[in-house]
Structure 1
Amino acid sequence: MLTIRSLVSNQALGLRVLVAGAPGALDAPLLWVHNTELLDPSEYLRERELVLTNGLWHVDGNAAKFVVNVARSGGAGVVYGLREESPAVPRDLVAACEASGLPLLQLPVEIPFTEMTRAVAAELADRRQAALVETVRRGHDLADAISRGSGPTGVLKVLRRDHQLPLAVVDRTGRVLAAADASLTDDAGARAGTALRQHPPPLEVDLGEQGTAAIFLVAALDHVDAGLLCLRPAGELSGVEHEALTQAAHYLSLEVARMRLAQAMEARFASELLEMILAGTEVAAEVYPRLEAFGIDPASPMLVVAAACVGDDGSAGAELTSRLSELLPSWGIPALVANSARDVVAIFPWAQSAENGLDMARRMIIHVQQQLPETRLVAGVSGPADGARALRRPLREARQACRVLLRRAGGQAVERFSELGTYHLLLGGEDGRSLRRISDTVLAPLRDYDARRGGRLETTLRAFLDNDAQLASTAATLYIHVNTLRNRLAKITELTGRDVMTTEGRVDAFLALEADAMVGAAD
């Protein structure tokens, strides 16, 4: 760094310090040198420039004015060049510099200002070349760390080699991706994530008990995804440290972009992951890595929300998937969002109560519903899952609750599986094969008869149950005589072995129809 002290140490210049100025003035960085013989050079003088003068402006009593003008412009100090006509620095100039705390140096007669300028230019060039070489070297090492797959940890290792700073890389959800000499608490991570989700993100963040941290934004693809945090205020960082951290943040953007692309690739197979969970695939070997790719700790408690658009022809589901994929990370929640033909499933960490989970799902649906006003959304919510190994049942519960809500004409848009009717709890524990068996015991003979005879026994059974077993209203619904209805019901009893005129027979028929609806939704 170019300073007054570094120039004084250059013996070829022969500089002599007459006034050291305020504490630290000799070691403050210099921008350049400025040669002037004006009494007031403030219009042309830039801040942190060193003034070179032969004192041609000097007459008795005006040295104080000259020093005030230099100080007012932010000048770094004064170099008085001796001449044969003035072989000594004026005493009033020395006194004025002492009074204002402005450094004053003496340049020998034999050294012209051009030599001073040449020396400053050479030192700046050398230092800039050294800084450029260091930037190139660091860039090579950062690129090497990224290419070797060292990730954020490798980037921090390169930084720590030259700068002993407490560092951490945190994403928008508050998850710490890497750290070096900085152990962030959960609260500090959450504060950092909140700051990164602001528009625009701040350049500093209050981490609570862990103090203030400078943020260097890590932007991947289309928006800020993470931040390189230095657990020091930005004002305490030197220019060299600031430059190194900014460079590292650019390289981290490459790594975070790679992570996002990996997530996008995983998302293409997210539906396959749901099928793995439902099929009971070995969780640790297959499911764990995929959840981790989305920032979800497989051992953490989780919640499953299955959402769908009423009357969706397939296009709304893709939009719903996109909205939920953006929404949850924007709330600081890492999530896996998978789209299937019948619903959109979101799996995310959830350590709070089941009741709070229901409230969370309602917030999600309300938020997305405002963005998709032309559609009606419903969502089923599971009970908490104790880690990835316990996801199978909550996933089935959430999807079953969603299917029930899709079949309802109105009512609640978001419900937990446990809030559904008792028969849903009964059927919800069955797999697809068992549900088909329950359905076929009653409906298979009716469908076979209707196919052979062109009958309407299945339609009649459904109408009969929908009308609460009331003969007159059922007959009116079907536009048939009540005696015709009695004959059809008798045939249903004959074919199925269930007397639908009794409570027991109607219960069996109702469960068969519900099981059929569940199987149909799954298909």
Structure 2
Amino acid sequence: MLGLGRLRLRSLVDAYVDRPIRWVHISELEDPARFLSGGELLLTTGKGMADVEWDAYVRCLVERDVVGLGFGIGVAHTHVPPPLIEAASRRGLPLLSVPEETPFIAISEAIAEEIARLQERALNSALEAQSDLIRAALSARGPRAVLVELAEALDSWVLLLDTEARIRYAVPTAARRRAARIRMDLDSLGLDVRTGAASLSVGGDQAAVLPIDVRGRVQGYVVAGRTTPLTPVERSVLTGAMGLLSLDLVSEQEANEAERRDRRAVLQLVLGGHAALAEEAADTLAVTLPPGPARIAVLGCSREALGDLLAAAEEQHGLMQSGALVAQYDRRSVLILLSVAEGDLQALEEVLHRVPGARGVASEGVQLADVPDALRRARSVYFGTSKTERLLLARDVATAGLLAQLDNPGAQGWAAALLEPLDRHAQRSKLDLISTLRVFLANNGLVDVSATELGIHRHTLRYRLRRITELLDCSLDDPTARAELWLALRMRELS
């Protein structure tokens, strides 16, 4: 306002406010506060206020959150009263001197024009932001591009969270540290597609939280935060971005469903005994088929939680990195074909841990052609055991069934006595003969395969096997001895 030369306004108090003038009000009352709502520039000539207590007058204006006071001279006063200047200076209230030749209506018109100009600028900025968001959504960069444009348009940090409030994208990356606090508050908010947005205080910032509506269901959340609240125009920009992200999630879901169908088709070929055809189909459909030896895992849960179980398996980092093939098998179970490698069983455990009540059985490592038999054994253990462990290993269905019958103190004592020489040897040697025996028996006595799995030379393995036969006083070529040792090892693992 001081920059508009035609108004010839003069500042009498060197005070700064970081708020815009919301409107103009004219009053000659000694106490105009009850007619104000805050944010106004108040204009007065001081008419009828010869005996007013200026300090009390200024105090009531400051308490009412008035932006500033314009005092018109030449009507009731030839100059602005010095006590008024002193009171305004003391309380930090901007004070303007309005010359007689400048009518109050000119000030009102100038402010109205400026407010209209700022609103037009905000709307144009919002339209430009919407255009930028649309271009970002149509680019190959996906949701992250939309979030980058949104953060720039709102001058804020932005998070895209999934339904469990886990971070999918963060702009800038440092915004990730705010996710933990937001995650704690989301449950209490209870947002859905009907309640819409909510506001949170996050580390001194004001954050707007909006659920992403995909076909009538919440599929995630967008959180935008900064030190000041969003304006109505900025909220419209945020809402527009939500629509674009919803469309993007729909496309993503459709792509995921198509990939799931492809993976299931390839797995069905493997389970049908068509290993060669499965490899050809995997190449055509760009589906990763784990190389052998691979294990097949049966993971199951309630019908209502199957979608969560499938998603957990698809998103598990270790399984993704190893190229595991994940597919729904029926209404209550998910199958995972994964290469035998370090940490593979731990990855399965993590998947089961994410879904309450889920449990699973993993087979031994087999070649692709033997997966159908491995699945039959794993499913027999899955449906035939009463164990409460989250994940079981199915080496052989007959053994698993027998173990269930041998779960008693006498059998446990027999197993401990049979393996006692190896346990005693382990106390005085770093050589792990128990693990060597387990791998050898699991691979049906195949030396080369067992040596590869143990990461040692086959001559080293033969030396270890000789030590085992010496300690146990038995022959590993004897089927009965091997069966008894295998039972003893399995009983130890499942006890």
Q: TM-score, normalised by structure 1?
A: 0.57
Taking the aligned partners of 2:3 and 2:318, their CA distance within structure 1 comes to 57
Give the secondary structure class of the aligned counterpart of 1:364.
coil
Correspondence 1:281 to 2:279:
yes
Correspondence 1:406 to 2:383:
yes
Q: Which of 250, 253, 257 is residue 257 of structure 1 equivalent to?
A: 250
Contact 2:318/2:344 (<8 A) preserved: no
Contact 2:310/2:334 (<8 A) preserved: no
Distance 1:168 1:14, change over 3 A: same
Correspondence 1:15 to 2:6:
no
Alignment-derived partner of residue 380 in structure 1: 361
Figure out how many residues of one structure are paired with residues of the other and give that number: 382
Larger mean Cα displacement after TM superposition, 82-91 or 127-136: 82-91
Pairwise mapping of residues 203-242 of structure 1 onto structure 2 (< 5 A)? 214=207, 216-217=209-210, 219-221=212-214, 222-228=216-222, 234-235=226-227, 239=231
**1:166-222: CA deviation from partner (whole Å, max 9, x where unpaired):** 65544346776555553677xx49748945963537856979xxx989565351314
Pairwise mapping of residues 172-321 of structure 1 onto structure 2 (< 5 A)? 172=163, 177-178=168-169, 181-182=172-173, 188=177, 191=180, 194=183, 198-200=187-189, 214=207, 216-217=209-210, 219-221=212-214, 222-228=216-222, 234-235=226-227, 239=231, 244=237, 247-267=240-260, 271-275=264-268, 279=275, 280-281=278-279, 285=283, 306-307=298-299, 319=304, 321=306
Taking the aligned partners of 2:10 and 2:169, their CA distance within structure 1 comes to 50
Give the secondary structure class of the aligned counterpart of 1:38.
coil
**1:261-299: CA deviation from partner (whole Å, max 9, x where unpaired):** 4334544555325336654536985676799xxxxxx99
Alignment-derived partner of residue 29 in structure 1: 20
CA apart distance, 1:132: 0.9
Alignment-derived partner of residue 85 in structure 2: 94
Larger mean Cα displacement after TM superposition, 252-261 or 350-359: 350-359
Q: Which of 108, 119, 141 is residue 99 of structure 2 equivalent to?
A: 108
Taking the aligned partners of 2:253 and 2:239, their CA distance within structure 1 comes to 21
Residue type of the partner of 1:10?
A: L
Give the secondary structure class of the aligned counterpart of 2:84.
helix
Give the secondary structure class of the aligned counterpart of 1:80.
strand
Taking the aligned partners of 1:102 and 1:334, their CA distance within structure 2 comes to 65
Distance 1:225 1:359, change over 3 A: closer
Contact 2:319/2:347 (<8 A) preserved: no
Correspondence 1:340 to 2:329:
yes
Taking the aligned partners of 2:337 and 2:220, their CA distance within structure 1 comes to 19
Alignment-derived partner of residue 457 in structure 1: none
Taking the aligned partners of 1:348 and 1:47, their CA distance within structure 2 comes to 67
Taking the aligned partners of 1:396 and 1:85, their CA distance within structure 2 comes to 104
Pairwise mapping of residues 41-60 of structure 1 onto structure 2 (< 5 A)? 41-60=32-51
Distance 1:229 1:272, change over 3 A: same
Taking the aligned partners of 1:164 and 1:423, their CA distance within structure 2 comes to 64
Query: Runs of 5+ in structure 1 lacking a partner?
Result: 1-6, 292-297, 310-315, 369-377, 426-502, 508-523
CA apart distance, 1:78: 0.9
Distance 1:163 1:59, change over 3 A: same
Pairwise mapping of residues 124-203 of structure 1 onto structure 2 (< 5 A)? 124-159=115-150, 169-172=160-163, 177-178=168-169, 181-182=172-173, 188=177, 191=180, 194=183, 198-200=187-189
Contact 1:48/1:74 (<8 A) preserved: yes
Taking the aligned partners of 1:174 and 1:223, their CA distance within structure 2 comes to 15
Taking the aligned partners of 1:83 and 1:351, their CA distance within structure 2 comes to 91
Taking the aligned partners of 1:348 and 1:103, their CA distance within structure 2 comes to 73
Alignment-derived partner of residue 67 in structure 2: 76
CA apart distance, 1:38: 2.3
Query: Runs of 5+ in structure 2 lacking a partner?
Result: 192-197, 402-478, 484-495
Residue type of the partner of 2:383?
A: L
Alignment-derived partner of residue 76 in structure 2: 85
Contact 1:142/1:158 (<8 A) preserved: yes
Residue type of the partner of 2:393?
A: F
Q: TM-score, normalised by structure 2?
A: 0.60
Give the secondary structure class of the aligned counterpart of 2:102.
coil
CA apart distance, 1:32: 1.4
CA apart distance, 1:65: 1.6
Larger mean Cα displacement after TM superposition, 36-45 or 238-247: 238-247
Residue type of the partner of 2:306?
A: T
Taking the aligned partners of 1:40 and 1:394, their CA distance within structure 2 comes to 88
Contact 2:310/2:328 (<8 A) preserved: no
CA apart distance, 1:361: 2.6
CA apart distance, 1:56: 2.8
Residue type of the partner of 2:187?
A: Q
Identity over aligned pairs, percent? 24
Give the secondary structure class of the aligned counterpart of 1:225.
strand
CA apart distance, 1:50: 1.6
Taking the aligned partners of 1:334 and 1:32, their CA distance within structure 2 comes to 61
Contact 1:170/1:177 (<8 A) preserved: yes
Taking the aligned partners of 1:391 and 1:8, their CA distance within structure 2 comes to 82
Contact 1:306/1:343 (<8 A) preserved: no
Contact 2:378/2:397 (<8 A) preserved: no
Taking the aligned partners of 1:392 and 1:343, their CA distance within structure 2 comes to 25
Taking the aligned partners of 1:418 and 1:225, their CA distance within structure 2 comes to 37
Taking the aligned partners of 2:123 and 2:88, their CA distance within structure 1 comes to 36
Distance 1:205 1:307, change over 3 A: farther
CA apart distance, 1:121: 1.2
